[in-house]
Structure 1
Amino acid sequence: MCLLAFQLQSHPKYQLVMMANRDEAYARPTARANFWSDHPDILAGRDLEQMGTWLGINTQGKVAALTNYRDFTLPQTGKLSRGHIVSSYLQSSLSAQDFMEQLHTNREDYAGCNVLAGSAKEMFYYSNIEQSIRHLPNGTHGLSNALLNTPWPKVDKTKALLADYLQQTETIDRDRLFGMMQRAEPFPIEQLPDTGVGEDLERLLSSIFIASKDYGTRCTTVLTIDREDRVEFEERTYKKGVFTATQKFSFRIEKPAHS
């Protein structure tokens, strides 16, 4: 996953509102969001190549998400699949902070990544590039393929769109959130970072929604948890930029998670 924005404990009706795009090679085999047969309490899409995931929630209310850190000027490191970080937290009995401390200890096992772990009550962030565990303040945050809240144009844009909309509405229209994540216009090259991929690819990757010949946005997820611990999870999938299917799930958290 390459872009997400979320608001934590800042809305009268919703504890957590999260919207996210997963960008990946079209050829990489992927299962749509569902409750996993081998871990029935986990709701997430699944990477069928390594059997991990990029974003998920369990029935106890634990939430986790991951993005890769993109900087091709850095040496490539790590031997384990980063997608297992998310699924490991969702399966774990550890608190989010304890899990992040364990991840920090094992940070060299993974290539550069950003990890969110916690619940609707509180959220933690860790990057093995920054190597610092952050307990996040309430408010609106954004994450792409640099550190949390790095002011890349698409990060700033999605944060602003989400914050402005939630300030104006009591009950969310999920179509509005999906619309925010489906903006395909690239940003001007002079506003973009240099992550070592060259100007043409940098500009292609700058858009909120990516569509190219072999790589692009595979799905968009909208996750909300309201003040009564009701979870609404919707995933829309795409094939080469064209919408193909919707998966919707709704449940009440069994026992509110203490992240």
Structure 2
Amino acid sequence: MCLAVFSWQPQSQYPLTVVANRDEFRARPTQAMHWWSNEILAGKDLQAGGTWLGLNRQNKFALLTNIRPGYIGMKRELSRGELVTKFLSSECSIETFHESITPKINDYAGFNLLLCDGKRLFWFSSTNPSGRFLNPGIYGLSNDALDTPWPKLNEAKQQLHDQLPKVQNTLTAHSVLCSTEPAPKEQLPNTGVPIEWEAKLSSQCILGEEYGTRCRSHIVQDATGLTRVCEQQIDLNGNITHTNQWAF
């Protein structure tokens, strides 16, 4: 998962609203979102076995992004994708899970991890291992720390702010995270990749044959406990090729 924007309003009709794009090499084998045998709803990375975003029937939610600055080309013993599935398949509280990961955080390449138990939302990362519970608000997460003001992330937060009722009511009839426009050259971040890749990665929806945005996930949890989820598969030209939806 490489770009996510989310509204956390725990005392409202819709406590959690998420729109997230997964960017990946197109050759990397992947299974679309589905119910796993251990009752996790998630896509699956068939190369490493983990996932980038998932939920379970107990209102747990987790989302992972990698971190580029300082971690380009860095290999580690453990796969980051297992962090999501470990949290969702455990009965641990957020605090207990976080405490279990912190001592071995450097066994994983750079990551951000969001953890939700239906009542609280927590963020921690390789560069901010102590993390914090999040106050109500709209947040953005890409491949650096929470709310790092990259152009595509700032735009995403404004999009969600402007279209929040539409997202909550229809899941997909909106333009959040759909822009294919790269950022102006003078606004590109310096994350350690060549400038042509910085430009390519600066759009919300990344196009291209080798690497790009492969799916978009939409999640809305309401105050009654109902969770609605939609995943759209996206081709190399940014077109939606397939849509699946769930409610539980």
TM-score (norm 1): 0.90
- Tell me the secondary structure at the aligned position of residue 105 of structure 1: helix
Distance (Å, rounded) in 2 between the aligned partners of 1:234 and 1:192: 31
SS of equivalent to 1:172: helix
Shift of 1:160: 1.1
**Inter-partner Cα distance in structure 2 for 1:33 and 1:83:** 14
Summarize the Cα distance change of 1:42–1:152 in structure 2 as closer, same or farther, 3 Å threshold.
same
Counterpart in 2 of 1:244? 241
TM-score by length of 2: 0.94
Tell me the CA shift for residue 174 of structure 1.
2.0
**CA distance in 1: counterparts of 2:168 and 2:24, whole angstroms:** 31
- 2:32 match: secondary structure: strand
Task: List alignment gaps of at least 5 residues for structure 1.
Answer: 252-259
Match of 2:69 among 61, 68, 71: 71
Q: Which residue pairs with 1:155 in the alignment?
A: 153
Residues in 2 aligned to 1:137 and 1:201: alpha-carbon distance in whole angstroms: 34
What are the ranges of 5 or more consecutive residues in structure 2 without an aligned counterpart?
none
Deviation at 1:120, TM superposition (A): 3.2
Deviation track 1:119-138 (CA, whole Å, cap 9, x = no partner) reads: 33211111112222211111
Q: What percent identity do the matched residue pairs reach?
A: 40
Question: Residues 170, 220 of structure 1: CA spacing in aligned structure 2 closer, same or farther, 3 A cutoff?
Answer: closer
Runs of 4+ displaced beyond 3 Å: 72-75, 168-171
Q: Which sits farther off after the overlay, 47-56 or 66-75?
A: 66-75
Q: Does the 8 Å contact 2:72/2:192 carry over to 1? A: no
Residue 85 of structure 1 corresponds to 83
1:152 deviates by: 0.7
Q: Secondary structure at the match of 2:87?
A: helix
- What is the CA deviation profile of residues 41-67 of structure 1, one whole-angstrom value per residue up to 9, with x for unaligned ones? 210111111110000000011100000
**Alpha-carbon offset, residue 222 of structure 1:** 0.1
Q: Does 1:213 align with 2:231?
A: no
The root-mean-square deviation of aligned C-alpha atoms, in Å, is: 1.8
Cα deviation code 1:100-149 (max 9, x no counterpart): 12111110110000000123321111111222221111111100000011
Q: Secondary structure at the match of 1:176?
A: coil
State the Cα distance separating 1:10 from its structure 2 match.
6.1
* 2:209 maps to 1:173: no
State the distance in 2 between where 1:169 and 1:11 align.
19
Deviation at 1:212, TM superposition (A): 1.3
Q: CA deviation at 1:96?
A: 1.1
Out of 103, 112, 115, the position equivalent to 1:105 is 103
What is the number of residues matched between the two proteins? 247
Q: 1:228 to 1:132 in 2, by over 3 A?
A: same
By how many angstroms is 1:75 displaced? 7.1
Deviation at 1:12, TM superposition (A): 3.8
1:146-192: per-residue Cα shift (whole Å, max 9, x none)?
Answer: 001111111111111112222x6695232334x22221011101112
One-letter amino acid of the structure 2 residue matched with residue 200 of structure 1? E
Is residue 46 of structure 1 aligned with residue 44 of structure 2? yes
